[in-house]
């Protein structure tokens, strides 16, 4: 368990996928990690998200209007105060070993003084490697948050 981690799930019109992510997270962490779901309204809204599927602290926030993918992520980051933030796509299924991979990466990053971890899944290879950045300048992040992004 890492109490310094929050998982952000930005979403637009995919409540079923969000529900599946909540089930996966719940089975891995048992509600020990805070989760925030940031909803861009469309055919579905925050009222379509069943937050009871996650046992732990959960916040479901909805934008007044659809502000696009990046706006939704930025809005979702607002108010998160944990050291680590995992931006998890609503349609990114978790690998069975996701919890151990995230915890190991956080531990390694803390030892190495890294500030950003990117789990790169763009090429869908079986030997996904995490990229650990030593400073936010190299990733062009203008935030005090530390980010874990992409599915593991």
Whole-model pTM? 0.80
The 10s digit of each residue's pLDDT in 51-89 is: 999 999 999 999 999 999 989 999 999 989 888 888 999
Q: Give the CA angle between residues 2, 31, 141 to the nearest 5°.
A: 50
Work out the pLDDT band at 106, boundaries 50, 70, 90: confident
Residue 152 has pLDDT above 70, yes or no: no
Hunting for tokens 């531990």 — which residue is that?
Answer: 107
Percentage of the chain beyond pLDDT 90 is: 50
Q: Rounded to the nearest 10 degrees, what angle do helices 98-112 and 15-29 cross at? A: 70
Yes or no: say if 56 and 32 are a contact pair by the CB < 8 Å rule: yes
Yes or no: say if 36 and 63 are a contact pair by the CB < 8 Å rule: no
Instruction: Give residues with Cβ within 8 angstroms of 55, minimum separation 6.
Output: 26, 30, 31
Residue 141 has pLDDT above 60, yes or no: no
What was the pLDDT predicted at 127?
A: 46
Query: Coil, strand, or helix at residue 24?
Result: helix
Yes or no: say if 76 and 82 are a contact pair by the CB < 8 Å rule: no
Hey, what are 47's tokens?
């009222």
Work out the pLDDT band at 109, boundaries 50, 70, 90: confident
Residue 147 has pLDDT above 70, yes or no: no
């Amino acid at each position: 368990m890492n109490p310094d981690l929050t998982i952000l799930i930005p979403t637009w019109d995919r409540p079923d996928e969000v529900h599946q992510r909540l089930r996966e997270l719940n089975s891995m962490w048992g509600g020990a990690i805070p989760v925030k779901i940031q909803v861009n309204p469309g055919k579905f809204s925050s009222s379509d998200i069943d937050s009871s599927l996650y046992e732990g602290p959960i916040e479901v926030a909805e934008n007044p209007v659809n502000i696009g993918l990046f706006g939704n992520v930025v809005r979702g980051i607002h108010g998160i105060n944990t050291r680590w933030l995992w931006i998890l796509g609503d349609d990114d299924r978790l690998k069975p070993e996701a919890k151990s991979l995230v915890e190991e990466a956080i531990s390694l990053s803390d030892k190495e003084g890294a500030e950003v971890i990117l789990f790169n899944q763009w090429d869908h290879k079986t030997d996904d490697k995490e990229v650990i950045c030593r400073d936010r300048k190299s990733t062009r992040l203008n935030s005090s948050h530390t980010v874990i992004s992409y599915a593991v």
